Structure 1
Amino acid sequence: MKGVDDAFLGVGDKPGLDIWCIVGSSLAPLAKSQHGKFYARNCYIILNTAELKTGVRRHDVHYWVGEEAKEEDCLMASDKAVELDAALGSNTVQHRETQGEESDKFLSYFRPCIIPVHSHSPSHMEGSRNKSSQTTMFSCEGEHVARVTEVVFSRSSLDHKGVFIVDTASKIFVFSGCNSSVQTRAKALDVVRHLKENRHSGRCEIAAIEDGKLVGDSDAGEFWNLFGGYAPIPRDLLEAVSMNMPLEKLFWINKRTLVPMEAHLLDREILNSDRSYILDCSTEIFLWMGMTTLVSERKTSVTALEDYVHSQGRSSAVRTVIMTEGHETDDFKLHFQHWPKIVEMKLYDAGREKVAAIFKHHGYDVTEIPEHEPQQLISCNGSLKVWLVDCGCTTLLSTEEQEKLYTGDCYIVQYSYVEDGKDYHLFFAWYGKNSIKEDSVATASLMSSLANSVKGHPVVAQVFDGREPELFFSIFKSLIIFKGGRSAAYKNHVVQKSDRNGCHQKDEVALFHVQALRHDCVQAIQVDLVATSLNSSHCYILQDHSSFFIWLGSLSSPSDHNMLDRMMNKLCPFKQSLLVREGSEPDDFWKVLGGRSEYSKEKRVKGWPADRHLYACRFEQGLLKVSATLQQPLDAETYS
């Protein structure tokens, strides 16, 4: 993608962690063995990919800033986090993590803890340094995750409410304050085990020191001797808590300038999709970016956020959360009045037809009939067989191949199912738009022969490429229609004349229009490799040899989006793809299509061809009465 680092292309396909370190002006990926080791002079980009039970992947982007990091590295880290969000389709939540103030969510990725290193190692290829000869002291806090911070090795660092770890050459001491919680003590023990295995290769003693218990405890005596002898620890002072909670401050970002917005009660409607906003809630600062903002504008907004945090003098205490419209966190929504539970429908979705949308735009109350799941006409749990018609004969296709049809061929499709204890058989003769007359003529007679050979209740029908009824697609769980053909007649009459391959090749350049019929039924149809084939109402997969783009039209439906991964697995299993939203296409995308060109950008709804109906007409007492006959294949004997 234009403006996106190449290191981010194709990431996020597998659950787990991906981490990069800012090294100069580039990104260095970290090996799995280095995860959890952070140097105080560096900045890092962290991507966590989680797969939900629904199969949808959720991405969280964090950028970690060390307390000794350079300002230019901090700015670059924020820019790279925006680029990573763009590479993942702008549907992530971004978090700014500062050393010593990391969020619980971030710390939960690294078990049992992270311990920032105060030495600089840009390459991150050095082995773990042996620190067993040094005496270091850590403060351990947190009940859900361990928050470990290196503190000054001094008696003054101890208090009654925390747990402290003193790591020496031969022994690790754990000092538990009398006011510390059981959960924190348990987390501290996990950290001690981690230090023993990683710093001492499992060869050292562990001593637990209870605050205030000194009688007959040799470990306690040894512990206090490290500090020059025992001395009482001062009592914990109660922290003053202000009862006057500060009001939220909302700013509109106008190029890097913050414009205060006067609003006593925040409302969702004040957020515009083409702008970015900063919401300051004292202990947490949110950056909200509209869905139509460009990547360059988002980088500017993140820079403005960094400037604002530093100007307030809260760089080490405040937490920042960055999000794009439509992917807001619950904490952010709580600060707004009347946040809609369901995002309001766009104008193009308000009415199924353009007239309804126009009426609503002019203020008229137009209510759309709710869209229900399409009713199944038949049972979709039957068996499917597909034959290729070739030189007057039929060839039964394998289960994998029967989901791939070619426009230069003709096919016979048999679908058998049981209903009410009876066997039913549907036979379709499918004629590709580029099929040869020789195959077309043979298809009808061959289908009749197959229908006569089965028991039960066969029904036959002819289906033409591009005019398939909904019932035809519903019997295929997934269907791909390629250009070209496999029959000998097609190859003799077309391929030899044009000197082209008859079938779509695995690494060929091609464009596919993808559309979902139901949650379990999806089709991909190969269309002409030009920009005019695109339509804002649809989704497409563009194959450039071994690279793939997934293009989402601005008016496409969520049901189509949810089926794209499934179709990608059919077209190119184990291949990575790049998500492209309409209006944010990289130059390489248009280059494959032969350049930019105008295409349809109006809302279009798929119209399935209606089933044929036969009506009987008669006159009774001077009135014309019309009644529908039974739904059955049209036959000359029906007419009278």
Structure 2
Amino acid sequence: MTTVMYPEILNTVPQDDKNCRSDDSGGEVFRNIPKNSSIFRVWRIEGLRATVVSSNNMGLFLSESAYIVYAVSAKDGALPYPGMPIKDLKDTSVVRAIHFWIGANCDSTVSGAAALRAAELDSQTSAMILTREAQGRESPRFLAYFRQRLVVENLHHESPDCTLHRVSGVAVPILTELKRVHWEHFSCRDVILVDVHSKGVVFLWLGSLSDPLHKRHAASLLESRKENNNGRVIVVEDGYEQTLSANDRELFSIVLDPSVRVVAPDRQHRVNPPSPIKLYKCSEQSGKYKVAELKSGPILRDDLTSGSVYLVDRGEAGVWGWVGRDVNARERLEAVRNARGFIKKKDYSDGVPVARTTEGHEPAEMKALLRGWEPSKMRPLTLPVSFEPDYMNERPRMAAECQLVDDGSGERTLWRVELKEGMVQVEEDKGIYYAETCYVMLYKYGQGRRCRSIVYCWEGVHSVKMDRDAALTVACRLSEETNAQLVKAAQGREPPHLLQIYDGKLKILAGRHRNSPPKKYLVRVFGSTPYTSKAVERPLRASSLDSSAVFILFSGAPIVWCGGKSTGDARQTSRRLAPRNAPLITEGKENDDFWAELGGIGAYSTETEEVGEELDKHLFQCCTENGLFVGEQILGFRQNSLIPETVWLLDAGSMIWVWIGKFSNPRTLQECVEDATVYLYTHPAGRNRNTTISVIKQGLEPATFIGLFDNWNHNLLRDYKPFEIFCTLLEDRDQSARTQTTSKATTDFDNYIKYPPAMLKSEPDNLPAGVDVRRKEMHLTYDNFIAIFKMEPAEFEKLPTWKRQRLKQAAGLF
């Protein structure tokens, strides 16, 4: 029997060390496994036995088999990986994770043995995380272990003449061998390697809607194959198969018969959208296991109690089992099995990810689903009174922590934006915003080549949607024109740098914009430093006061009122906002004139100030479909996780960053903001919808973003080669020599999903969703178009309307 390893290892079964085979109990192989040392170990299940997989074969899986992965690392350290050195972690908090992986063609005996062996390993090591992994539905943690690639092969009794591999994956390439060489596996969204072993040729087939990231992964895999002189590479585009040279076209037609060519518009289970989050409580009653729904999201940490087992359900996106510290050992060990039973009762698909964690050891990816873990411990930093941008460029971690690029003394221009009036420049920016208005600011900082810009779009809490939309449109256009960082902010969640620009003196007043403030108004003071402080208007009455806060009454003779429980920081901040000669009075020392200004003495309560939550950073591919965020999370991310072929979303807690790669599919700034908004609106933990969103482009990252990564290298992507250059090198040709049509450059022909001619000749009611009935010909592949109309799509577009209609009628496409 042989497997076809791709790309380095060919026609060999992984030869595991016979001395590492376990007996039928499974106990021997796990006997000396360390609990408190960094380690990465993989076993393959053969019958009922577990066999150790050698380090050079880790990352290679057979679809007919099941595997167990055991990974231990320091809690605050990097994730484990194949071949990592074993290091003692006795004095460090550790994360012990067990994964049992089930191949798509694995029989129930083997998968059952994998679950049993994983439970044995769990009972011996007391793992914090136990996960069932299914082929094609692996968890972000499992994928993050394999830093080079993940390969899934089929077992072959004889060496095949030709194989198909689908290329997928986000952070790293995933190469999956398909069952047989046939068009049934192809969709417009796929990147597929057609490997003709007998001829030493690989066709790289690119679906018309394939992800640039997958193309890049395929090129990387093929480059390593090319370095080993493993044959010739030919790039084939979806629907353009007949444009290949005669010899290549003949070979491609032999392995994939063009007469039965059908390329689906999409692939089933390509995306598994999450369902609204729900919490279930598990209990045993009269010998029967009961699962009762407790609530829909958002779920709070306090909803979970130490004496019980809970299920956190997100439908096809996965189910987490949470085990309280007081739960007995049997329930703890059976949590995954019971979660699997829950999935079957819910009629979810068999590959739904299932994981178990224990109280006090929840991983970041599970904690992100719930709210109320820990209040923020971050205290504002004391900074110099003034400093240049270089100060923060040299201290990116500090810049990220306080979210400042400079001291706010740069050049600024402010506009108020309304749908009716458009952009109106605020001639004299007095540091006063109004709650019914939207503002756009262009801020410039730095000098010469280091000159950068930020465009702020601030939305008043009582502004109307039409004005908010108009302001965002203006901000996006201005940001594109100036190559600036875009920051969308809402009242109450002002970015620290925006507050720093006004030296902590920003006032937010009620009503619509006016050129001068009212003669008398009351504001509450927030914050303690120039980058955290501001003043927000409260109704002019005694009931607005609060014993824990400081207020300023602006009138002919301004007064600072300090609540009995207010802090010294707040009192100091008020001095920045109030005139120097304003008297300071403390609660209980008010005179009659003060109460008269507020309309008389009245009762007031204590208004609790929102305490932020300590949130981990999370990186995702920025991807939404049908109003849901479906981007895959990248655990253990680093700077090199930001691959230029896609758009990334980095959730930093107080800020949602969207990073646009140079070679990603074209996306407007407004679309990026919309994607980030969908992320916030559909977040399972019910995130604040007014969280600030910032959009940046590759190569223009500010220090506030750079500081979120360890050891940022400004030259990392300097010599990065785009996919097109890779193709040139792989095919050993000049870029100009490629046999290709000109239609892509002159028409939008390739933007249409392609269907077989027979399907497009159906009645309008029977056509696939998304087909433009008036332009059915645009849904043909290029090859079919040429065969039917005997001309290029670009030539067809130039014909008079009557002639196009006559040709379409003759073809049955009218």
Report the TM-score when normalising by structure 1: 0.45
Determine which structure has the larger helix proportion and give its number: 2
- Higher relative CO (Cα under 8 Å, sequence separation at least 6) belongs to 2
Larger radius of gyration: 1
Give the alignment's TM-score, normalised by structure 2. 0.36
